Chains A and B, each alone.
Chain A
Amino acid sequence: MIAMDILSDAFFAAIAGIGFGAISDPPLRAFRYIALLAATGHMCRYCLMAYAGFEIAGASLIGAFIIGLGSIWFGKKVYSPMTVLYIPALLPMIPGKFAYNMVFSLIMFLQSIDHPVEKVKYMEMFFSNTIIAATVVFLLAVGATLPMFLFPKRATSLTRHKQ
């Protein structure tokens, strides 16, 4: 059952990665690696959160770092820059639920200005969701970019055909 949960998480992340990647017109040869990276990164985050007690921010950072490392490895195979592979792969990890709760609590806060208890509840909900959503997006970008600083020479010559 656990294996099924992990595999289905990876499967849906791969489809999400391919679909969101398609909006940004990636080269066709990059699609399978985008799917692979999206699946690995999301699966890793899921396992860390569900079985290792990690919270979403730390797990996202590690998942993004793995995607970044993978993109530096696969980038050379398809002669594509790291960002072409890792940006679509990161998109399924964007904290959409927190972003939605942010908007929802803002509306409810504005609607309950005359009710002190509800007002405070929705304000707290708004700030906690905003902080989580913003931190996760920032850590996703930083985590995936870190390998670029660890292997600068390889990262800047992925599209070079001459060895």
Chain B
Amino acid sequence: MDKNKEPLVEVGEFIAEYTSHMMGCGIHTSRVIRSSKRIAEAYSYHMHISVFQKSLILTLHDSETKEYHNAVVDIPALPISFEHNSELSALSWETYDERLSLKALREKYGKIIAAPSIHPLFVLLLVGFANASFCRLFGGDWISTGIVFSSTLAGLYLKQRMSVHLNHYLVFILSAFIASLCASTSLIFDTTSDTALATSVLFLVPGVPLINGVIDIVEGHTLTGFARLTQASLLIVCIAIGLASTLFLVKDSLI
């Protein structure tokens, strides 16, 4: 037996944490499994894994000593992060290519997950411009574009503030309602108000789980794929409820 080999249990604990973090921050299933197996392979272990939406089960196997390490881990609900997607995936390759020690791997992992994300105010501005551009793409005029910009700021600011305290679905309903209600001010002006209303809530569309869900299904991870699509559909229903509440109030002006 190789005396320098990293202990099975410690490698298993790290991979469980790494895998659940990757699943939690919105990375498609096949990449998560590939990256985790790569790390196990780097330490000369074999890994088998089953991934579900809320938990995962993994077994690490040492073929020399016939030892097994099993773990069932909850997947945390984390904000989507493409930065973590890139860096954690690159970390698995680095571990594989440069045979990092477990200590060095843990340090690098800690640095990646502790790195600050983009400032919420900066995100707010960028999303405001993005949704306003969306309005232009759908044929809205400049007045509608300005209204959509300010509606998006109001809706997203509310979402950022409420996300900490309130249920996820309620947050989506309220944000969609506020954003579309602000956009309904376009009815006062002679402008493309239906385009303004339509685009005001689009910043809420859960594009990442929608696309990840389809990727998972296409790649054969049907369970997680459908779970992601179901989650995304529920959020879309919430957006529809928020938008519908505004439309109920202003529908007479729209027909």
Contact = CB atoms under 8 A, between A and B. Distances in A.
Nearest to A34: B82
Main secondary structure of the interface of B (DSSP, over half): helix
Given A16-B137, A100-B197, A90 B83 contact: no
A150 to B, nearest CB: 13
A22 B127 contact: yes
A47 interface: no
B117 A96 contact: no
Contact of A162 (B97, B210, B215): B97
Contact of A104 (B90, B195, B247): B247
A78 B197 CA distance: 37
Contact of B130 (A19, A102, A103, A140): A19
A90 B85 contact: no
Contact of B80 (A25, A96, A159): A25
Contacts of B27: 83
B77 interface: no
Contacts of B123: 22-23
A25 B83 CA distance: 6
Contact of B82 (A13, A30, A102): A30
Interface of B: 26-28, 31, 34, 79-87, 89-90, 92-94, 97, 117-118, 122-123, 126-131, 133-134, 136-138, 194-195, 197-199, 202-203, 205, 207-208, 210-215, 218, 236, 240, 243-244, 247-248, 251, 254-255
27 contacts: A9-B137, A12-B137, A16-B131, A19-B203, A20-B207, A21-B82, A22-B130, A25-B83, A25-B118, A26-B83, A27-B82, A83-B28, A87-B207, A87-B208, A96-B134, A99-B198, A99-B202, A103-B243, A103-B244, A108-B255, A111-B251, A141-B210, A141-B214, A142-B218, A145-B214, A157-B93, A159-B90
